[in-house]
Structure formats: structure tokens, C-alpha cells
Structure 1
Amino acid sequence: MKEIRFFYVPEAGKVQELPTEEATHALRVLRMRTGDEMYLMDGQGVFYHAEVGMTTNKKCFYHIRETLPQEKTWRGRIHLAIAPTKMMDRIEWMVEKATEVGVDEISFLNCKFSERQQIRIDRIEKIVVSAMKQSRKAWKPVVNEMTDFTSFINTSRQGTKFIAHCYQEFKRDDLFRELQQLDVDEDVTVLVGPEGDFSADEVKLALTRGYRSISLGNSRLRTETAGLMAVTMAQITKRKE
């Protein structure tokens, strides 16, 4: 059986040509030719069974055979807001795995103790698309530019909001138990801080803005591990049976 090939094509149902990068992969790497089968994903919940049409050295056109709407496998929205680590490969790994597990939105925070103040969103987007194709996710997670912690906290958001931290002076509830008690359709936002944690003032500010103080268990986790743990917990409690 031939391997099914997926390509990411925003608005795939409205256009008939693969994006440049996807066309290069199809023609030069996979050596696809007219008549070959392929599957497209638009990142908005629809797969398309398609066939390669006309090709040139750099362009690959297609014909849609069948439109295949997908059903989301979890309920509500999962939003992870995280402070990037100094070593970018670690946060890129987390983004890849969180996409594979299933997340709706990823934001990056610039906090008081952040070790990194800039990220390349274009690179993050490529990692997300690759992970989305690999894991056959029909919805592409929204990826937001890095934002100041205070600005993020002061922005109104739907659903229940949590901030994970390690301060003993603040009462912390277990995230997994908290998620189990929520309505399964409730949107969830979880904040994860830098390696040096959020500052105490940042935690206090978040609490005044309606965020709940939580822990991710008894182990002290690295930032990227904590982010993936939060997404996984949300997935377990929100998945459809």
C-alpha cells in the first residue's frame, strides 16, 4: 500500500495549486506525477482527497476528488501561553509535541525572568505545520507573536484561566483535578513561566485578573515539559469518547 501524503493548503477548496514549499516537496522530494493521489488539509477542519494535475518544474496543480470534513477529537479550546526557553530547540520541541497531542492556540510570553525576548514566528509556524501533517490534525493551532506578560494578562479571554508556578506562599490546586471539574466544553488557558518561574508580582497580578493558581504535580518540571504536561492534561479531560 502506498503511503498517504498530506499537504497543507490554506483554503484548499478554493484554489487548485499547492503552495510553493509544498509543491517543491511533492515534485522534487516525492517525485509525484500527474495522476498521483494526495490528501490536502486546510487547517480549518477539512481534508481533501485530490489528484495531481498539471505540473511544471516549480508548480503542482491538483483536482479535488472528495471533500472530507473532520470532527474535532476534543471539546472546548486549549490555549497554552508559555515563556520561551533560552535554548530555542527545547521550546520548538514542545511546540511540535503539543501540536501532535492537540492544542488550539499557543502564545509566547515575555516575563520578568525571561531568558529570551524574541522568537522567529515563521520558524514556529513551519514546525506546527509539519507536526499537524505528521499527526493528521485537521485544525492548525493559532500561533501568536511574543507579548508582554502584563499585556497578555490584561486581555479579556473566554473560559477558565490558570497560572502554573512554584511559589509555596500561594495556595495551588492540582491542574488535572481542576480540569476534571470543569464543563468539558469550557475553554481553557494555561500560563507556564520561564525557567526562573514567574515573579511573585506577576502571579499576584494574574490572580487579580481571574487566573487560578495551580501546580502540575509534585515534580519540578522544565518549562517545555510543563507546557506539554498542561496540554496533555487538558486533552485527557476534554477528549471525546
Structure 2
Amino acid sequence: MQLFFNPDISEKDKQVVFQRDESKHIVKVLRKKEGDILNITNGKGFVFTAEIIQADLKQCIARISSAEKQPPPPYYLHMIVAPTKMNDRYEWFLEKAVEIGVHEITPVICDHSERKKVKLERYERVLLSAMKQSLHYYFPKLNEPVTFKDLIEQGIEGSKLIAHCEDVNEKPYLQKKVHPWHRVNILIGPEGDFSKEEIEQARNTGWEQVSLGDSRLRTETAAIVACHTVAMVNQ
């Protein structure tokens, strides 16, 4: 099954008009023609079945024959992850997080962050490609980068968990702090980890410390381990 994307369609629409890039992909790359059937999502949980009625490189049009709403996942995972020095590592995290199951992502800029600027448009393309490849019907929310200080001052709903490498007395494994069908926010730091001041600030504002295991993990690896742990708890 191939999945296509159009964010503007709703269950009331009778046809869908694809933007130029998606039209070119459908007609030129995949060689779809009039009469072929497409499966489309709007990233809001709907999957549409539609028949191509105009196979044009600049504006492919399809007639919608059915629309079905897929149930949302039983939990909500918000990953708050510091950008990595090498941008391709962060993009790898984005791709794999979508495949495993993530609902919201926020890049966070910390004291030890070596990368403090990100290209959200590029990140959104990675998320979109991963959503279509993994046949998911909900497009993750990607937030603007936020500083650590501003983040912890926000009123965030659900469990607030911070994973760091400091040796402290009370740091249970993540799976012991994640509950099924619950909203969870997980904070992952940069390559140099969070500063001691940041860890203390997080603790003072209600963030609970957690461990991802005995190994010292890269930022993007730690983020994927966290995603997988939450997904497994909710199976």
C-alpha cells in the first residue's frame, strides 16, 4: 500500500487536488494514470480512497470515493529533544520516532547545545516522508525551538520526565514511570548532557528524573529508546 498526503481535504470533500510536488511524484515518479486508485491521508486521522481523474504533472486531481477516520493512539507522547551537532542524526531520530509512534516534538536549546538553530521546514519533510512510509494517519506536531529555561516555565500537561546521565540516588527506569493510555513528556539533552543547573531547575519545577539504562547513549539513541519504551508500555 502506498500512502499519499494532502493536509487540506476533509471527510466532506468530493475530490482532492494535489500540490505540484505531490502531483509530480504521483504521475512522473510512480507513473500513476487516470483510473488508478490512491490512498490518501490528511494527517488528522482520516484515510481516503480516491480515483485519479486528471493525471497532470502540475495538478493531479482525484475523485474521493470513501473516507474513514482511524482511531487515535491510546497515549500521547511528546518528545523534547536537544538538536544534535550533526543534523543528520537528529533527522534520523525524527524518522524513527514517527515509525515507532510520536505525537509531538519540540527541539530544546540547552546550556551545552552545540547546535542552536534548526530548519523546521526540512524537519517537517522528514516527518512527512516517515509518516507516509510507515502508513500512519496522524502527522506529528513539530514545535518551534525553545530554550530550556522557557520550556520548564511552561505549563505542560501530563507526566514530565527528564533523562540525564548524572549519577543521583533517585532515578528509576523510564518504564516504571510510564503508564498506559497516558500523556507523557520526555526531555532529552544534548551531547554534553544537561548542566547541573538545568537538572536542578527541572527538579524544582516538577520534572521527574528517569534512567534509560546503564549504557551512556547518544542524544538521538536515547530519544529512540524513550519512544520505544513508551510504545511498548502501551501495547
Distance 1:112 1:177 in 2: 28
Q: Could you tell me how far 1:169 is from its partner in structure 2?
A: 3.5
* Residue of structure 1 aligned with 2:188, choices 176, 186, 192: 192
Distance 2:8 2:220 in 1: 32
Distance 1:195 1:170 in 2: 22
Equivalent residue, structure 2, for 1:10: 7
Sequence identity, in percent?
A: 36
Equivalent residue, structure 2, for 1:128: 127
- Secondary structure of the structure 1 residue equivalent to 2:118: coil
Alignment TM-score, normalising by the size of structure 1: 0.93
Distance 1:57 1:213, change over 3 A: closer
Q: Could you tell me how far 1:178 is from its partner in structure 2?
A: 1.5
Equivalent residue, structure 1, for 2:51: 51
Q: Could you tell me how far 1:38 is from its partner in structure 2?
A: 0.5
- Secondary structure of the structure 1 residue equivalent to 2:143: strand
Q: Could you tell me how far 1:217 is from its partner in structure 2?
A: 0.6
Equivalent residue, structure 1, for 2:226: 230
Equivalent residue, structure 1, for 2:65: 65
- Secondary structure of the structure 2 residue equivalent to 1:25: helix
Q: Could you tell me how far 1:170 is from its partner in structure 2?
A: 5.3
State the one-letter code of the partner of 1:219: S
2:107 is aligned with 1:108: yes
Distance 1:6 1:138 in 2: 9
Distance 1:44 1:57 in 2: 26
Distance 1:144 1:47 in 2: 25
Distance 1:169 1:177 in 2: 17
Distance 1:220 1:94 in 2: 17
Aligned length in residues: 232
State the one-letter code of the partner of 2:230: A
Alignment TM-score, normalising by the size of structure 2: 0.95
Which structure 2 residues correspond to residues 170-181 of structure 1 after superposition, within 5 A? 171-179=170-178
State the one-letter code of the partner of 1:227: A
Equivalent residue, structure 1, for 2:91: 92
Cα offsets for 1:144-198 (capped at 9, x unmatched): 121111111111011100000011135211101221xx3x222000000001000
Which structure 2 residues correspond to residues 75-90 of structure 1 after superposition, within 5 A? 75-90=74-89
Q: How large is the RMSD of aligned CA atoms in angstroms?
A: 1.2
Q: Could you tell me how far 1:228 is from its partner in structure 2?
A: 0.5
